[in-house]
Amino acid sequence: MWKRPALLLFSVLLAVGFGALAWWLVQRPDNGLIVILSSLLSLVGALGVAVSMRGCNACVARLFGEV
């Protein structure tokens, strides 16, 4: 019952946080690797949002462990 909202909350924080970090760092020329890594982590957060909204209950339970 608590797993889907927790996954949504953490995924939104991950996606928005690392997306904002990538946007902020793209203006600086020496941070190419960090921009790529933060963009990838932002995409992982977006995938977590998609799984929390459209995924089956078994998929969400697998991410947090069976209870």
User: Could you list the residue range(s) of the whole structural domain that residue 14 is in?
Assistant: 3-64
Number of domains forming the structure of the chain:
1
Helix ranges (DSSP H) in the chain: 3-25, 32-54, 57-64
pLDDT tens across 45-65, in order?
Answer: 999 999 989 888 887 888 777
For residue 52, CA distances in Å to 2, 30, 36, 56 come to: 11, 35, 24, 8
pLDDT tens across 25-44, in order?
Answer: 988 888 889 999 999 999 99
